[in-house]
Chains A and B, each alone.
Chain A
């Protein structure tokens, strides 16, 4: 006899990519690497979504170049997501992208009850429009304040200061890599690792609490969601044969 056909009520978890598609992304295969990294991360993201019945993971993406536009406008369940390739060309309307996301995080259209959204900003350059206005519009939204905001810097020309402003202040005193600082991807392998980490470990942490260890400051969490460890630096066997470094 079957168990009653009921299940735990779940909440939506909105995951939004903000992807830089400016002309410089066309150089050294960065655009292709980003498209590949996101596409390759989807099965793992779907598996995490499946393992977290308390969350309904919904994905969207904004692209920005001369203007910002929704690349995926409808919040899409990750197992139904097909990643169409982004194309590079234009300047860097990052501020406009933040305005678009701010509008989407207003209630409505945002649900009254949800899990903290996850926003991932990926950029290789400097905003060419009014970043500050976009950031201010975003942070007026309570859901954006609650959101887990991550940034991935592609190559060495990315504006780390702007990306840090997107993430918010960095409370961690130690040097080195931290999810509260821009993650610096200097080649396709590290980009794929960070995308995979954001779409699996972070989605997991935001949707269902993970095991907590002593060092996690339970009294004063660094954010409203404790972020998982960054992926380890796995030595890539292909490193020896010369890899494009951005």
Chain B
């Protein structure tokens, strides 16, 4: 890589007080180059634009300034912190003649990896973490859209995942603009772009973000593309005109309940056929909403709030197969066999809360939104977590993650105190009283068959 900024040098910039030390180049693309830098002892990232990119996007500098003043909608965004221009003393050290600028943003921790690693099947990650990543993604766009902004260029390329936690980071926030302003040069990434934007009939905005978000969620959940089925197989050379037909002129969802022209091929598109049936019907319906009715009617697309609600509910329904230990999602009021091994999923313990029901499976969590009708879905501050007994993993308990003590009530009515950090077994109590609200422990009428 030919680095524009000299690695190892300390440069003065207009826009920040102290000198910025260029630690090392991290990567470069067609827009610019990204560096790890140090400013007053803090490690940050610096994106420096190529002149061609600045020339193409006249509003870039002003838009960045507005984003910097508005601050990040949530901490999932690697949001611009400060706009930098080279000072007179630094200019000779910058290895391009044309005037240019860049911006500082938080540095992505090494524990976050590109979402394409997951798409390529190279990431050790569980279904729970993938669903959490989907939730955090929907949550980030929810906050962005509520702030009146739109992202415009959602794709696998600007999403990073932390496989252990499912937390996400969104980079390349320099296209963010006020929704409807029609500002900025970017149109999106084909494959993620809404059909109306790809065909040049509309400018990217919050409605087209909803389409791109659904594509990204589908890609994360199924490791497949929502529009690549039989109709893709008919294409020999997958080039730009072909993508335009497939994603713009005649886009058909591979699981469209009515239009069966683009069903997945059992061999070429096996990923979609294996993963799609894992997910509960209400979650599948949200994809149909966006990719069927919403394909041509942007206002009908699934909203960020709907995604958050259904993804959170799906996580609540997570159970483990007694035979193969694989994660499953138990449909409300019904049962089904394990998607992986076919063993019927037994009716297990569940926790009934003022707002919703959570299956008692290790790692499932209770959140404020399970108790408070006014709290929006949020997975960042769990109140309780289902844990397996260290000696006997079949015995489940509920750990108190809150700062206040609970009172667990057994069948005989006697209360037991559960201090913060302690766990109470789910075998005995019928009800747990917490300051957030009551937790009713529901056990199946007959004991579950021994594993």
Which A residues contact B (CB, under 8 angstroms)? 1-9, 11, 44, 50-53, 112-116, 142-143, 146, 189, 193, 196, 201, 208-216, 218-219, 221, 223-226, 228-229, 231-237
Contacts and interface: CB of A to CB of B under 8 A. Distances in A.
Interface of B: 1-4, 29-31, 50-53, 56-57, 95-97, 114, 116, 118-121, 123-128, 130, 153, 155, 157, 185-191, 193, 198-200, 219, 223-225, 228, 233, 235-241, 243-244, 268-271, 274-275, 278, 320, 325-327, 340
Contacts of A116: 237-239
B50 A229 contact: yes
Contacts, number: 160
B120 A3 contact: no
A143 B237 CA distance: 8
Contacts of A228: 30
Nearest to B235: A113
B187 to A, nearest CB: 4
B189 A212 contact: yes
Contacts of B53: 229
A51 to B, nearest CB: 5
A9 B278 contact: no
Nearest to B339: A4
B325 A234 contact: no
A209 B97 contact: no
B270 A3 contact: no
B270 A6 contact: yes
Contacts of B153: 211
A1 B268 contact: no
B51 A232 contact: yes
A232 B126 contact: no
Nearest to A148: B239
Contacts of A2: 124-126
Contacts of A223: 240
Contacts of A53: 116, 119-121
Contact of A229 (B52, B126, B187): B52
Nearest to B27: A47
Contact of A6 (B1, B193, B275, B325): B275
Given A224-B237, A225-B239, A232-B52, A209 B95 contact: no
Most buried by A among B95, B239, B274, B275: B239
